[in-house]
Amino acid sequence: MFSKITILKPQRLLTIQSNGIKNFKAPPNFDHIQFPERAKLKFIEKVPQLPPAIKAPKMQKKLRLMRGPEDVHNFLLHKQYGIMALGGGRLKWGHYEMMRLTIGRNMDTNRMFALWRIDSPWQPVTKQGQGQRMGGGKGAIDHYCTPIRAGRIILEVGGKCEFKEVKDFLDDVAAKLPFKAMAISQEILDKMKEKEKWEEENNQNKYTMKYIIQNNLGGCYRWLSPTDMKYFCKYV
């Protein structure tokens, strides 16, 4: 018995060898990243610390602290990744713990870091006791919260990592917040601002919400609130 041996031509052999060649992109360079002193999110106090001689003050609801856009903390300090609020709301202490524990478990502290971009709970929320009659004055302080406006950066995550490495657990955290939020990167934030600017400059419909409200079309002054007239129904 003789086995059949096939001899490949040089041209065919070269073609087979070149089929396995891959062209990979160079990995990103993270030499410019500066790490903070603390890599993980620090523990947040449940109740603000007051001097011993001062009684904890009560406060009104002040819903204006949650309405409208955020004008100050609406950018990323480290130009990497984070979570941005898409609407207004209040954060309780339990939400702080959820974010701290979830990110602490999923983050690689050897090459990543996370930091808060919001204050600890400071606004008191009062509540009447169970089964009490109406009246009797303002109730006792039940818990503390932090008001958040649309566009506020809740926290930042950075380090020697790419966005796809942190996107999954940032999306998980954003879905558990009491208001709409999303995981963002610096590129996503820049594209959102460019898209908003482009839509405003290239809008062909002159009957925008701003034009309708300023000219009182249809007598809209009768049913619009002062907040709608200030932000032109953009922020609910």
pLDDT per residue as tens digits for the range 159-211:
999 999 999 999 999 999 999 999 999 999 999 999 999 999 999 999 999 99
Are residues 212 and 98 part of one domain? no
Q: Are strands 112-116 and 81-85 parallel, antiparallel or unpaired?
A: unpaired
214, pLDDT greater than 80: yes
* Residue 218 in domain: yes
Neighbour count for residue 54 (Cβ, 10 Å): 7
Are residues 211 and 181 part of one domain? no
Q: Please give the structure tokens belonging to residue 29.
A: 């360079």
What is the count of structural domains for the chain? 2
73, pLDDT greater than 90: yes
* Residue 170 in domain: yes
pLDDT tier at 19, thresholds 50, 70, 90: low
pLDDT tier at 56, thresholds 50, 70, 90: very high
Phi, psi for 185 (deg, rounded to 5): -125, 175
103, pLDDT greater than 80: yes
* Residue 19 in domain: no
pLDDT tier at 155, thresholds 50, 70, 90: very high
The predicted structure's pLDDT at residue 207:
93
Are residues 70 and 162 part of one domain? yes
Q: Please give the structure tokens belonging to residue 26.
A: 């160079």
Mean local confidence (pLDDT), 35-51 = 93
Q: Please give the structure tokens belonging to residue 20.
A: 């396995």
Domain region containing 116 = 30-124+139-188
Q: Tell me the C-alpha distance between 41 and 233, whole Å.
A: 36
Are residues 234 and 145 part of one domain? no
* Residue 164 in domain: yes
Mean local confidence (pLDDT), 100-111 = 95
